[in-house]
Amino acid sequence: MRIVVAPDSFKGSITADDAARALAHGWLACRPGDDIRLLPLADGGEGTVDAFAAALPGAERRTVAVPGPDGRPVDAAWLLLPDGGAVLELAQSSGLPLMAAPDPLGAHTYGLGMVARAALDAGATRLVIGLGGSASTDGGTGALRALGLRLRDVQGRELPLGGAALTDLAEIDVTDLLPAPPGGVQVLVDVTAPLTGPAGAATVYGPQKGAAPADVTLLDAALRRLAGLAGGDPAESGAGAAGGTAYGLAALWGARIVPGATTIAALVGLADALAGADVLLTGEGRFDETSLTGKVVGSLLAAGAGGARVGVAAGQVTGPVPGSVAAVSLVELAGSVDAALHYPARWLTEAGAVLAGRLGAGRVPAVGCQMPDRCPAGIRSSGRQIAVPGGDFSSDAASAG
């Protein structure tokens, strides 16, 4: 059988590359004769830089120190591509895990703008910016201010950083804003949310960043004020991504909003890999109702997975799973959220074995199965290393997490 393993990262827990290797190890422990191809993916959030780097070996990884979303310094990686473009990832400069404590009103995207400035200074001719995983709801104004934008209140005073400050916005000055590169700016989004309203950035995603109900109301009003002065299309699908950063970069810097998951899948050649494949294994940290609105797993399901049978491994499964999909929860395998988070490789390996039992041809594992408790009628052969593209992944290492 031909198997394609194409998960997203499990945010804050394990990279897409390591997740793919763990799933492949578990599958091959049950079906060692199968042909496995690894294609780690991203949706514009964490892992975007890694996905591009894996697809474009000639890309040069660079790192720049910038202010994080709460002002503390962080090191953010970006890629200079062989064709002169650059790939940036908001999660590395302005992501929620970088916060010492949630600050939904004051967190900002200034660091993202500093990374963009570094890429432009290095001669980048176009920018591709992954926007998932943000800590802030500032409409991208922090990033734009790092690029020269000025925001003032009615008395002409510069506004402080953060989304809450936009409630006092009276003037947008683009005089010193650096021009976008000649090849333009693409922003990769993992949601379809508009900027404001009941389905907007503040209402839907603000609580995940620590916003109380009163904070959500304030931030939504702040984004409406920004849109009233900046123009653009706040109702555009994906405008609310990353706390409205997609909207800000589109309205004030001419960026084009595109779905991250499908863009990255096309780049890495997923369609060609799926041609003739029997099974697609994918996964993400949480499978819920938002998974079907622009994230990796939802995009793969919407595209039909090339006709392959689909298995999904997720940290938690809380949303409706299509009847044709086999889904495994790491929390259920591990027995607790803490165990799943602390040993993700171990439980992803287990998940790969479970899915091999469910989706393998005839659901009968091949001779040599290392996990008889997960693969019915299998024969244990413990201690053997299984070759997986990209390196060996031993069962002992997987169990250690």
Decide yes or no: CATH 3.90.1510.10 for domain 48-261: yes
CA dihedral 161, 165, 171, 172 (to 10 degrees): 40
Judged by DSSP in three states, 390 sits in coil
Residues 226-231 have a mean pLDDT of 98
- pTM of the predicted structure, to 2 decimals: 0.80
Beta-strand relationship, 386-388 and 391-393: antiparallel
Contact 358, 367 (CB under 8 A): no
Structure tokens belonging to residue 112: 């993202």
For range 83-96, the mean pLDDT? 96
Each residue of 312-342: pLDDT tens digit?
999 998 877 877 889 999 999 999 999 999 9
**Overall average pLDDT of the 156-176 stretch:** 98
Q: Mean of the pLDDT values across residues 9-20?
A: 88
Tell me what the mean pLDDT of segment 16-25 comes to: 93
In the chain, the amino acid numbered 8 is D
Environment class of 256 (CB within 10 Å of its CB; exposed 0-12, middle 13-18, buried 19+)? exposed
Burial environment of residue 55 by CB neighbours within 10 A (0 to 12, 13 to 18, 19 or more): middle
Q: What are phi and psi of 345, to 5 degrees?
A: -65, -40
Amino acid at site 395:
S
Asked if 2-39+269-400 and 48-261 have one fold, the answer is no
pLDDT score for 42: 86
Q: What pLDDT, on a 0 to 100 scale, did the predictor assign at position 297?
A: 80
Q: Which residue has the higher pLDDT, 300 or 275?
A: 275
For domain 2-39+269-400, the CATH superfamily is Glycerate kinase; domain 1 (3.40.50.10350)
Ranges of each domain in the chain:
2-39+269-400, 48-261
| pLDDT, tens digit, 9 for 90 and up, residues 263-293 | 888 888 888 888 989 999 999 988 887 776 6
Across the chain, mean pLDDT equals 88
Q: Which residue has the higher pLDDT, 292 or 219?
A: 219
Note the pLDDT tens digit of each residue in 127-155: 999 998 899 999 999 999 999 999 999 99
At 239, the pLDDT band (50, 70, 90 cuts) reads: very high
Task: Give 34-77 pLDDT, tens digit per residue.
Answer: 999 998 888 888 889 988 888 888 999 999 999 999 999 999 99
